[in-house]
Amino acid sequence: MAAGGAPAKAVEPQPHPPKEQLPNISYCITSPPPWPEAILLGFQHYLVMLGTIVIIPSSLVPQMGGGNEEKAKVIQTLLFVAGLNTLLQSLFGSRLPAVIGGSYTFVPTTISIILAGRFSDTSDPVERFKRIMRAIQGSLIVASTLQIVLGFSGLWRNVTRFLSPLSVVPLVSLVGFGLYEFGFPGVAKCVEIGLPQLILVVFVSQYMPHVIKSGKHVFDRFAVIFTVVIVWIYAHLLTVGGAYNGKAQKTQLSCRTDRAGLIDAAPWIRVPYPFQWGAPSFDAGEAFAMMMASFVALVESTGAFIAVSRYASATPMPPSILSRGVGWQVGVAILLSGLFGTVNGSSVSVKCWSFSLNTSWQPKGCPNLSWIYDFLLHSWKIRSRLCFNSSTHYCCFVLPILCLCWCWRS
C-alpha cells in the first residue's frame, strides 16, 4: 500500500526493443522493398530453393520405381506444400523471413523405407512406387505428432532457454556445410557447365558491385537470375551445337538441356490434394526412425530461426514464440508433407535465408506450373519481411572450388 492508502501501480513489462540494423542491410522487417523488386527477389528465392525441391525427388523417385511422370508430380507437390507451409509460417508461426521447404535430413530415413523388404514382392514399378509413398506418408504423419506436442505445449521453449549464439553458430554452420555433399557431386557430373555457373555467380555477386558502382545494388541482389539465364543459354548452345553427341548416357543426362524428361511428363496445371497416392500405411519401426529425423530437423530449424531473427533486425525472439514457430514449421509442416505425399519432410530452408545474406547457391530448373503458387507466396512474404545483406564474403570463392575439385577427382 502507498502512503495515501492507494494501491501501488503495477509496473507493466516493456516490449523487447528491436536490435540495431546490421551494416550493409538494405531491407528489414520494418522496411520492405518496392513491389517490383520484391517480385524479382521472390522469384530468385524460388530459384534458390529449387535445388532441394528438384534434387530430392530426382534421387528418390527412381529408386521407388517411379518414372518421369511420377517425378514431375512429386516435384509439383513438394513445391505446392512448400508454398503452403511458408504462408502458414508467415501468418501463424514465428513470422520471420524463413522459407519452409524440403530437407535433406529425412533422406536417409526415406531411403531405409525404400529398401524395406516388404515392397520387393511388387512387380509393377508404379504400384511399388505408390506403396512406398504411402509408407513414407504414414511415417511422416506419426513423426509430426511429436513436433506438434513439443511446439504447441511449450516444452521446447524450456530447451531454447539454454541456446546461445555460441551454440547456434556451429549448429547452423554444420548444417550448411552438410549440403556440400549433395550439391557438388551433381555439379561435378557436368563440370563444363557447373564450374562456370559457380564461378560466375560468385563473381557477379561479390565482385561486380565493386567494378560497376551504380549505387542500385543490381548485381549483388539479382546474381542468381543473371547467372542462371547466362549459363542456361550457354548449356543450350552446347546441346544444339552437338557437343554431347556420342557421349555417354550419363553425361548426356547431366549436361544436355533436353534430356530431363520432366517437361513432357508434367501437366500444364495440376493442383495436388491430400492422399493423392492412396491411404497411408503405418509401420512402428519406420515411424520411430522418422521421428528421430524430425527431431534433427527440429534442432536445425531452431538454430536457423535464431540466426534469421538476428539478421532481420527483429526483436530478441522469446522462447514462447520460438516454440510456437517450431510447432507450425516442424509439426504442421511435416504433417502436411505426410498428407500430400511429398516423399520428404519439411524444414527451414537454410540456403534461402542464407542467400538473403548474399550466399551463393546453384539452383536447378523445374518445368511445371505449380511454381506460380509458390512464387506468389514467396513474393508476398519477402515483400513484407525481407532482410538483405550486400556485404562481400571473399572466402566463399575458395571453399566451393576446392570442394568441386575434390568431387570431380573422386
Helix (H), strand (E) at residue 102: strand 100-102
Would you say residue 223 lies in a domain? no
Q: What pLDDT tens digit does each residue of the chain (410 aa) get?
A: 445 555 655 555 554 555 565 666 667 666 777 888 878 888 887 887 777 788 888 889 999 998 888 998 998 899 899 889 888 888 888 888 778 888 888 888 999 999 988 888 888 899 999 999 999 999 999 999 988 998 898 888 888 777 766 776 676 666 666 666 666 777 778 888 888 888 898 888 888 877 877 767 788 788 888 888 899 899 889 888 888 888 888 888 778 888 776 777 777 788 889 999 999 999 999 999 999 888 888 887 887 787 777 776 666 778 888 888 888 878 899 999 999 999 988 888 765 554 555 433 333 323 233 333 343 433 333 333 333 333 323 333 344 444 444 444 44
Q: How many helical (H) and strand (E) elements, i.e. helices and strands, does the chain have?
A: 19, 2
d(CA 334, CA 253): 32
d(CA 27, CA 30): 8
Q: Is 164 in contact with 172 (CB distance < 8 Å)?
A: no
d(CA 220, CA 210): 10
What's residue 338's pLDDT? 93
Q: Is 366 in contact with 50 (CB distance < 8 Å)?
A: yes
d(CA 136, CA 112): 10
Closest alpha carbon to 383 in 33, 120, 71: 33
What are the pLDDT digits (tens) for 30-75? 677 788 887 888 888 788 777 778 888 888 999 999 888 899 899 8
Would you say residue 5 lies in a domain? no
Report helix angle 398-409 to 180-188, nearest 10: 60
d(CA 343, CA 61): 8
What's residue 403's pLDDT? 41
Would you say residue 402 lies in a domain? yes
Q: Is 42 in contact with 382 (CB distance < 8 Å)?
A: yes
Would you say residue 222 lies in a domain? no
Q: What is the pTM of this model?
A: 0.76
Would you say residue 29 lies in a domain? no
Q: Cβ contacts of residue 5 below 8 Å, gap of 6+?
A: none
What's residue 22's pLDDT? 61
Would you say residue 294 lies in a domain? yes
Would you say residue 292 lies in a domain? yes
Q: Cβ contacts of residue 274 below 8 Å, gap of 6+?
A: 339, 340
d(CA 265, CA 271): 15
What's residue 361's pLDDT? 31
d(CA 186, CA 202): 18
User: Which residue range is the domain that position 290 belongs to?
Assistant: 35-190+262-409
Helix (H), strand (E) at residue 101: strand 100-102
Q: Is 140 in contact with 345 (CB distance < 8 Å)?
A: yes
Q: Is 243 exposed, middle or buried (0-12, 13-18, 19+ CB in 10 A)?
A: middle
Helix (H), strand (E) at residue 292: helix 284-311
What's residue 121's pLDDT? 84
Residue type, 169: V
Would you say residue 207 lies in a domain? no
What's residue 352's pLDDT? 54
Report the domain count for the chain.
1
DSSP for 321-341, written as a single string: HHHHHHIIIIIIHHHHHHHHT
d(CA 128, CA 120): 8
